[in-house]
């Protein structure tokens, strides 16, 4: 057999291609699907099966995109009314060369979630791998909060049962191929391991160690953040997204073109670092650094108004555009030709915002009446403590809580490191806040400097 894990960095989304003989199957393909086709070609195989472990809510499915050129059949679980593909059920199995892929239904994260068990009959009848989708991750277990507070306990219980009754008994030596890795929005505690095994998880996964009751009761009280774009993904992935060749191409945009777009209400995304943003930016833009797109675009960008990217040397555009493709931001229109320097060369208005070090902050806290705002997520604030006297609003939820922030005081924002702080500053600036400072290094630097932490 041949096997490849194809990771969408940033999203931390894992897709898989497995092949045997002249056939291959892809599990949870992303939208930019050339790599699957190239792998199949290289092995002189044809992709005949596409499996979706569940209807994803954090990225756009590539199933239709991949099926279009290669003619593969798409399979998903039976408990959702997908508008494309074929339904599979418990016990269905598919043969590719020496491989047998069997379906087990593992509801909990969603109702239609399935897990695929791979047996390589050339070696044995024993399970060799499981594609566990969003059930069991290295070090964590999937979210169960998508069906409203009233069904939290029910879904958590289903998931726990799916894992303990259906997956764990497959055997300690079975390799787990999950749909996500560390950094995914789908599991905040996923370990930074490329793959895992049932045995290793049984020994080390802290959530598994809880036992069902403790797990369910914990899940009952938890309210993980849900970025608004999840809703869009659910709609798109149920009905099937647009094929990429039908979209208009993202191209370079002159300063004039960008000013026109700005005038008609586009979304400017500044993908540079917090220091670059502070040193100068297009007024009204969002500061979402290159590697923060996958986690934060979905909180602040809509799917309607055109999106324009701003970089310095335009060398970070490709990964960001790929992220947009994967997140379904088909309204990405282009990038500022010549980068941000083209903007200031053209004598266009430039926003400049404040930054300070933790040493500066320490000094200012003594002598100024700052409004100190912590924009990290709840968990982070709880685990790592906070700077004494700081208020808390999660960066993703800022627009909802603007009235809690005073417009007549210096607002100093901090997060872990300074990136989310820059996004928060950019959001506040859009809402008429003026005296804004982002703390470079955030909590990490504060702790490193040995300053007092409030818990």
Q: Residue from 231, 313, 406, 431 that binds a second copy (CB under 8 A)?
A: 313
Which of the stretches 49-57, 84-92, 104-112, 344-352 binds a second copy when contact is defined by CB under 8 A? 344-352
Distance CA 148, CA 60 (A): 22
Q: What are phi and psi of 356, to 5 degrees?
A: -150, 165
Q: Judged by CB under 8 A, does residue 453 bind a second copy? A: no
- For 326, residues 6+ apart whose C-beta sits below 8 A from its C-beta are 8, 11, 13, 30, 31, 32, 59, 60, 294
Distances (CA, A) of 155 to 140, 160, 182, 215, 455: 16, 8, 23, 11, 32
Tokens of 200: 């290793």
Binders of a second copy among 265-294, rule CB under 8 A?
A: 272-281, 289-291
Binders of a second copy among 41-80, rule CB under 8 A?
A: 41, 44-46, 69-71
Q: Residue from 346, 389, 399, 409 that binds a second copy (CB under 8 A)?
A: 346
Q: Residue from 448, 452, 453, 454 that binds a second copy (CB under 8 A)?
A: 448
Q: Which is nearer to a second copy, 224 or 319 (CB)?
A: 319
- For 89, residues 6+ apart whose C-beta sits below 8 A from its C-beta are 78, 103, 105
Q: Residue from 34, 81, 173, 431 that binds a second copy (CB under 8 A)?
A: 173
The number of residues in the chain equals 455
Q: How far is the CB of 129 from a second copy (least distance, A)?
A: 9
Q: Which sign does the torsion angle of CA 308, 288, 341, 428 carry?
A: positive
Binders of a second copy among 314-333, rule CB under 8 A?
A: 314-316
3-state secondary structure at position 108? coil
Q: Judged by CB under 8 A, does residue 385 bind a second copy? A: no
Q: Judged by CB under 8 A, does residue 359 bind a second copy? A: yes
Burial track 372-405 (b if 16+ CB lie within 10 A, e otherwise)? bbbbbbeebbeeeebbeebeebbbbebeeeeeeb
Distance CA 183, CA 84 (A): 30
Question: With contacts defined by CB under 8 A, how many residues of the chain interact with a second copy?
Answer: 93
Q: Which is nearer to a second copy, 290 or 376 (CB)?
A: 290
Strands in 2-8's sheet, in edge-to-edge order, are: 2-8, 13-20, 23-27, 46-52, 73-76, 86-87
Q: Which is nearer to a second copy, 393 or 445 (CB)?
A: 445
Q: Judged by CB under 8 A, does residue 455 bind a second copy? A: no
Distance CA 64, CA 237 (A): 10
Q: How far is the CB of 139 from a second copy (least distance, A)?
A: 6
Q: Which is nearer to a second copy, 107 or 127 (CB)?
A: 127
Distances (CA, A) of 402 to 89, 157, 373, 406, 415: 48, 37, 12, 8, 17
Q: How far is the CB of 57 from a second copy (least distance, A)?
A: 26
Which of the stretches 294-302, 372-380, 399-407, 437-445 binds a second copy when contact is defined by CB under 8 A? 437-445
Binders of a second copy among 15-34, rule CB under 8 A?
A: 22
Q: Judged by CB under 8 A, does residue 153 bind a second copy? A: no
Q: Residue from 81, 352, 383, 409 that binds a second copy (CB under 8 A)?
A: 352
Q: How far is the CB of 151 from a second copy (least distance, A)?
A: 31
Q: How far is the CB of 53 from a second copy (least distance, A)?
A: 20
Q: How far is the CB of 339 from a second copy (least distance, A)?
A: 8
Q: Residue from 211, 349, 388, 406 that binds a second copy (CB under 8 A)?
A: 349
Q: Judged by CB under 8 A, does residue 229 bind a second copy? A: no
DSSP 159: H
Q: Judged by CB under 8 A, does residue 411 bind a second copy? A: no
Q: Which is nearer to a second copy, 85 or 139 (CB)?
A: 139
Q: Judged by CB under 8 A, does residue 431 bind a second copy? A: no
Are 34 and 10 contacting, i.e. CB atoms less than 8 angstroms apart? no
Binding mask 102-121 for a second copy (x = CB under 8 A): ------------------x-
Binders of a second copy among 188-227, rule CB under 8 A?
A: 191-204
Distance CA 181, CA 190 (A): 6
Q: Judged by CB under 8 A, does residue 374 bind a second copy? A: no
Q: How far is the CB of 448 from a second copy (least distance, A)?
A: 4
Q: Judged by CB under 8 A, does residue 180 bind a second copy? A: no
Are 376 and 415 contacting, i.e. CB atoms less than 8 angstroms apart? yes
DSSP 274: H
DSSP 395: G
Q: Judged by CB under 8 A, does residue 358 bind a second copy? A: yes
- For 271, residues 6+ apart whose C-beta sits below 8 A from its C-beta are 288, 289, 290, 293, 309, 310, 311, 316, 317, 320
């Amino acid at each position: 057999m041949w096997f490849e894990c194809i990771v969408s960095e940033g999203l931390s989304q894992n897709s898989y291609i497995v092949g045997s003989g002249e056939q291959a199957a892809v599990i949870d393909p992303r939208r930019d699907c050339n790599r699957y086709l190239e792998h199949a070609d290289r092995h002189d195989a044809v992709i005949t099966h596409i499996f979706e472990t569940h209807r994803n809510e954090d990225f756009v499915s590539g199933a239709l995109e991949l099926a279009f050129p290669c003619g593969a059949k798409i399979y998903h679980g039976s408990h959702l009314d997908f508008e494309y593909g074929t339904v599979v059920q418990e016990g269905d199995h598919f043969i590719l060369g020496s491989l047998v892929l069997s379906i087990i239904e593992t509801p909990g994260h969603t109702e239609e979630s399935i897990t695929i068990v791979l047996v390589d009959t050339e070696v044995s009848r024993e399970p060799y791998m499981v594609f566990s989708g969003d059930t069991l991750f290295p070090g964590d277990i999937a979210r169960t909060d998508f069906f409203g507070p009233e069904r939290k306990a029910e879904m958590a219980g289903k998931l726990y049962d799916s894992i303990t009754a259906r997956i764990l008994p497959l055997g300690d030596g079975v390799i787990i191929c999950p749909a996500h890795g560390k950094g995914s929005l789908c599991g905040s505690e996923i370990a930074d391991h490329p793959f895992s095994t049932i045995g290793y998880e049984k020994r080390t996964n802290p959530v598994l160690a809880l036992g069902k009751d403790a797990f369910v009761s914990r899940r009952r009280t938890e309210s993980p953040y849900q970025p608004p774009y999840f809703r869009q993904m659910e709609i798109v992935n149920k009905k099937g997204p647009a094929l990429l060749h039908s979209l208009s191409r993202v191209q370079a945009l002159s300063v004039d073109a960008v000013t026109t777009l700005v005038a008609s209400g586009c979304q400017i995304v500044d993908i540079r670092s917090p220091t670059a943003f502070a040193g100068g930016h297009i007024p009204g833009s969002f500061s979402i650094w290159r590697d923060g797109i996958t986690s934060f675009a979905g909180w602040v960008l809509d799917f309607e108004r055109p999106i324009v990217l701003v970089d310095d040397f335009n060398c970070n555009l490709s990964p960001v555009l790929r992220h947009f493709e994967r997140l379904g931001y088909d309204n990405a229109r282009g990038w500022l030709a010549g980068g941000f320097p083209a903007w200031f060369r053209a004598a266009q208005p430039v926003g400049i915002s404040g930054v300070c070090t933790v040493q500066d902050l320490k000094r200012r806290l003594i002598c100024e009446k700052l409004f100190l705002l912590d924009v990290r997520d709840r968990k982070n604030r709880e685990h790592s403590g906070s700077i004494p006297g700081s208020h808390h609003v999660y960066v993703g939820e800022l627009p909802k809580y603007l009235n809690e922030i005073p417009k007549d005081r210096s607002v100093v924002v901090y997060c872990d490191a300074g990136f989310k702080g820059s996004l928060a500053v950019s959001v506040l600036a859009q809402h008429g806040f003026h005296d804004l400072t982002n703390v470079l290094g955030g909590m990490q630097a504060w702790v490193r400097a040995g300053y007092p932490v409030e818990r």
